[in-house]
Structure 1
Amino acid sequence: MTIRVVVADDQELVRSGFALILDVQPDIEVVAEVGDGIQAVDAVRRLAPDVALLDIRMPHLDGIEACRAISAASACRTVMLTTFDSEEYVYEALHAGASGFLLKDVRRDDLVHAVRVVAAGEALLAPSVARRLIAEYTSRPAAPVPSARLDALTARERETLLLLGRGLSNAEIAAELTVSEHTVKTHVGNVLAKLGLRDRIQAVICAYESGLISAGAAS
């Protein structure tokens, strides 16, 4: 199956470079290159791509607001691209529905990998961004009690969410819980479905914001 991609960046050379890297892949097709957030939202609406690469700083409508509009109105998954990796941008982009967050100095192989991973329904963060996100949440005071929304989870699903919040992979969670990876995938799917979450990144956010993980517990 061909992964259809929209690339949005207000710098023509940058977006053309990303598009060229992706379009030569046998399983990826760049269906549109656009220069601002409004054009990005329109392109997603018209062309129904699988993935949109969005620069954060764009005229008329920034990448975060474009991401929010795309996530609310379509199944298209978004990857944010920026030269800025501040906690504010990471936090806002993930809450807007982004499934990936990469810096513009990303290697070409990592860019291609990110598009494939996100198109497959997973989530991906640049390592430096992931560290900042965890630091942001672990620096906050923990909520006194877990959120009531977690009541829908079984005890094992709650354990799975806790381990997701600590950044463990399915294989690591399987080893921790002494179960198979297939069982872990089932638990992860149940957690996402019951809590109405799009992917693992939102599960991490939920684990921290609900108070399930307290400051310093991610290590």
Structure 2
Amino acid sequence: MNEKKEVGEKAVEYVKEGMVVGLGTGSTVFYTITKLGKLVQQGLSIKGIPTSKQTEKLAIEVGIPLVSFNEINQIDVAIDGADEVNRDLDLIKGGGGALLREKIIAKAAKTFIVVADSHKNVDKLGSFPLPVEVVPFGFEMTSKYIRELGGSPQLRQNNGIPFRTDNGNYIFDCSFSNITFPGDLERELNLIPGVVDNGLFIAMAKIIITLNKDKEIVIKKRSVG
């Protein structure tokens, strides 16, 4: 059973005619985008906003028409993956390096849907190193401040040189021994000069599409209030 394909394609059911759709990045939402492309070829009319250059390329390949923010008033639904999902439906994202654009699009969406295979479900966030996007200038000092918050930042490398996001920034993958209060950590990290944003997505996901231990699709919804 391909769990990523199961949950990725299930999310397509939330996309309706005429919607503006935020298109996430990663191996699970790949199946969402591919399925949407087939529906577009069959006559579905939607417009997409990609979260990365990689996703933009895929969307063009499968025939999804793309728009920019200055052409729309809102995003109806955004669909994306996650590296970890806890019981409160909070997330760690950014393993693919697109966390900033993903967060901008998730925030702009009326409904943010996350597709996650069963291995992404955790009791507490933090086993997956938390990605933090930082500007290259003074990144050594930014690293020092992250350490003061209890993190162990490792500069993400690509063939021996610093990885660059689509925005031209660096990413620190930060091990935190215990993320007890993820909302507080998200805010504290973003107060550090040089930090652009981080991969904690707190109270943003409205729907999680995942699988239980019996490999059955489960839809989790955030309670309002």
* TM-score where L is the length of structure 2: 0.33
Higher relative contact order (CA 8 A, sep 6+): 2
Give the TM-score taking structure 1 as reference length.
Answer: 0.34
**Bigger helix share:** 1
